[in-house]
Structure 1
Amino acid sequence: MTSPYAQHGFRVGFDWGPVGAEVVAGHLVAVVDVLSFTTAVTVAADLGIDVYPYRWRDETAVAYASQYDAHLAVGRSEAGPGDVSLSPVTIRQATGVTRLVLPSPNGSTVAQQLSDSGATVIAVSLRNRLAAAQWASQRLAADPSLKVVAIAAGERWRDGSLRPAVEDLWGAGGFLSALDTDDLSPEARAAVAAYDAVADELPTLLHDCAGGRELTQYGYPEDVRIAAEVDQSLSVPVLKDGKLSASI
C-alpha cells in the first residue's frame, strides 16, 4: 500500500528534512538550505569549486577530506583570515580551493543521505532557484514519468527536533513556482504560495526572518545578503560521485 505521506500521483512534491526526504521520494530532488548550505554551494559552484557534503565536522570529516584531497571547512565561529567555513563570504574570498568538504547538520546531511538513493540531487537556493527550475523543467519535458521533489532542510531546535525555517520554504517554493508544470501536490502548492506571497519583498524579509536575524546577531549579515541574491546565479550544482559540481 502506498504511503499517504508520499504525495503519490503528482509530478512535483515538497517536504521537510531528512525524514521528508526519505518518505517523499523523487527522481530529481532539490535540497534547499538557504542559510546557508545550498547558498554556499552555489557560491562555490560559481567559482568552479566542487563541494563534498558531509554530516559532521569531526575526526571522520578530516579523514573524508583527506580521501578526496579536499579542503575541510571549519566552523563559522572558528574561521580566521584565509579560512573557509559554511559562510558564503569565506568561500567567495577563498584562494586556491578547488574541492571543499562542507559539513552541515541540515542541508549537507540531507544531500549526503540522498547520495545513495538513486535520485538526481541538486542544490537549490534563492540565488539559483530560476536556473535550477529551468534545468529541471527540461528533464520533466523529456521524461513524462519523472517526479521532482523539493526538500526544505530546515534547522534544529536545541532538543534536536526540526525547526521549519521559512527561508527554506521560500527557496523551495521559488524553485517550484518556476517549474514548467502545474501538476503539484498540495504541499508543493503551499510552498509556491509562500514564495509568491513574499517574492516582491525579498531580500528585506530574508533579513527580518528568524534565520536572518540569527545570523545577523552572530555577526554574519553579509551571509544573509549573499543568500538574498535572488536569481543571480546560473549554476546548478548536481550531486555525483559524492560531490556537488556545477552542471554544464
Structure 2
Amino acid sequence: MWGWFPGGMICRVTSPYAQDGFAAGFDWGPVGAEVVAGDIVAVVDVLSFTTAVTVAVDRGIDVYPYRWRDESAVGYAEQYGATLAVGRSAAGPDGVSLSPASIRRVTGITKLVLPSPNGSTIAKQLSDTGATVVAVSLRNRRAAADWVAQQIAHGADRRPRVVAIAAGERWRDGSLRPAVEDLWGAGGFLSALGADGLSPEARAAVATYDVVADELPTLLHECAGGRELTQYGFAEDVAIAAEVDTSDVVPVLVNGRLFRST
C-alpha cells in the first residue's frame, strides 16, 4: 500500500493488519492468509482438511488441494492421474472423501485430489505466492513445529517469518465462522515452535491452546465443529483429529501437491 506525504513524496505504508515486525503471526481464513503474509505458512483446518492430509501422507498418499468439488475438479484429478475425493455422504464404505476415517480405510491409491472450501482453498491460494506451505493439525503440530524450527535455524540470509492461518468454517451466508478447533491447532503449533517475537494475535492463539491442552481430546468432541460431525455420523473423524502429536509427517506443498517432507 502506498501513501502521499507532505512535499509530494510517495512512501510505502504498511497495512496495520499485516502484523509487520513480528517473527510469527496468526490470522483467519483466505483473507487473513492474503493480508498476513509469511515465508512459511502453516494452514490449519482441524475438522477436517489438514487432519485428512496428515492421515493420507501417513499412508504414502500425496494430496492435491483444490477449491471446489465440481467438473473442473474432475479434470484436475485426471490431469494428475489422481483419485477425486467425493462428499462424505456419497463415499459409502469403500469410497474416499474429506473424512479422515475414509482415507485411513481406503486402499489402492497414491494420489488424492481433496477439495474443501476452507483449508484446501487456502492452501491452493498460497501455492503461487512463493511461501512454503505446510499442512498442520493437532496430530502433527509438534512435528511441524520441529521441522519449521529447523528451517529457521538453517536460514541463510535472514530469519524466515512464520504465519499460522486458522481456516475456520462458513456460516450459511458465506461469512467466516471462526472455529475454535482451528484456533487450538494454530496455537498448538505456535506453542510447540516456541518462537520469540510472536505478534499479539499469535500470542493469543498460543494462550488459548495452552489453557486447554490438558483437556484435549474431550473438548474437541464438545466444541461446535466436533458436535456437528458427530451429529452427522462422523464421530470417528473427530476422534482421529484428536490424536494429538501422534503423527510425525510434515506435509509440504510443492508444485500443487502436499507430500511428506524429508
Shorter-chain-normalised TM-score: which range? over 0.9
Q: Name 1:197's counterpart in structure 2.
A: 211
Normalising to structure 1: TM-score of the pair? 0.99
Measured after TM superposition, the shift of residue 139 of structure 1 is: 1.3
Match of 2:166 in 1: 152
Counterpart in the other structure of 2:220: 206
1:66 maps to what in 2?
Answer: 78
Q: Which runs of 5+ in 1 are unaligned?
A: none
Farther off after superposition, 110-119 or 180-189: 180-189
Residue 109 of structure 1: which of 107, 121, 125 is its match?
121
Aligned alpha-carbon RMSD (Å): 0.6
Cross-structure match for 2:99: 87
2:132 counterpart of 1:120: yes
1:183 paired residue among 192, 197, 203:
197
In the TM superposition, residue 81 of structure 1 has moved relative to its aligned partner by 2.4
Q: How does 1:6-155 map to 2 (within 5 A)?
A: 6-143=18-155, 144-155=158-169
Segments of 4+ in structure 1 off by > 4 A? none
1:247 paired with 2:261, answer yes
User: 2-side partners of 1:54 and 1:83: how far apart?
Assistant: 18
1:172 aligns with 2:186: yes
Displacement of 1:140 in angstroms is 1.5
State the TM-score, normalized to the length of structure 2: 0.94
Give % identity.
Answer: 77
Deviations, residues 115-143 of structure 1 (Å, cap 9, x unaligned): 00000000000000000000001112222
Distance 2:167 2:92 in 1: 27
Separation in 2, partners of 1:188, 1:141: 20
Q: Distance in 1 between matches of 2:84 and 2:203?
A: 38
**Larger Rg, first or second structure (1 or 2):** 2
Question: Which runs of 5 or more structure 2 residues have no equivalent in the other structure?
Answer: 1-12
For 2:189, the aligned partner's letter is: F
